[in-house]
Structure 1
Amino acid sequence: MQQPPSSGSTPNTPKPTTTAGSPGSGSTQPGPAAEIGEDAKQLGTKAANRLHSEVDARKETAVDQAKSVSSAIEKVTGELDQNAPDWLKSALRQGAQKVQAFAETIEQKDSRALMRDAQDFARNNPGTFLAACAAIGFAAARVFKAGAETQPDIGGGDRPAFGQLGNQPTPPKVASPTGEFA
């Protein structure tokens, strides 16, 4: 261990060094790791705030669409044949009421509260949450596939729509080095 320099020491005696931000250094400058951590935290906060503001901005559209779905279900229920089973009418009415309640919940809460509710639901009902995610994924895939099949061909060729094989030309037969056709 080094002895502290005495008053009679030579000027070339090395002084103990400390790193910026280390405990006991007396320095108020944060180290590079602390600066990077603080920058990452600020960036994360900015991203989360932007996400929430975007969700809040688009919330009204989602509410309108959910209310439209609820109205459509109620209309279908009212137009059912008199011979339709009562359980079907009841199920459709309850479904319309649930969609309407969902729309009102979205309308009344901000994005942070909705996120907390979704996280709580996922924690309390993991099986139902995963099943709902799978159902939403399948529905989204069907919607995207249906949209891609109805897109016009930009190139003007006779190519089939996405997902359809159509009349594909067969590749030409090529002779192998032994003279056989493959």
Structure 2
Amino acid sequence: MSVHTHERPPQPTAGDAALDAQAVTAPTVADVRALSDAMRALFMQAKNRHRAMEKTPEHGRISVLFVLGKVGPMRASALAKEAQLDLSTVSRHLRVLEEEGYVVKTADPDDKRAFQVGVTERGHDFVERFWCERATAIRDALAAWPADDVHALTKLLDRFVRDTEGCF
């Protein structure tokens, strides 16, 4: 049985976490510009790395393999759409990836006349090695950072992505 009283709930006082939370001020335009500058620098690093990778013959094949590894088996036409490539390009990449043992074709369960393509164990191993090398490089670059800072940045980036959906 609940008892109703007419007592007021305790009011926050100076130094109280509830009051401190209310005192948070929104970022200024200068704050957002500084964040935008930092993001622009990060995006330029990523773009330059991507450009360097584009010059390698396996770049397109790697992109196709990553999509398949993330999404799972699918028809070549769906893969082309997901990878934002034309079907002839995807077909060419799939041919090489199949010859190298990274992907395998199987009958489409919904239409036995069509086929799906999926990643083989060798293909999964390749993708895993790639991401491990990338993670190791980033870990090495952040070696002087305390783990708590990396965790905080991760948490804030996740929040940033959620809160800014549709802004870019």
TM-score (norm 1): 0.21
Higher strand share: 2
If asked which structure has higher relative contact order (CA below 8 Å, sep 6+), I would say: 2
Name which one, 1 or 2, has greater alpha-carbon Rg: 1
TM-score (norm 2): 0.22
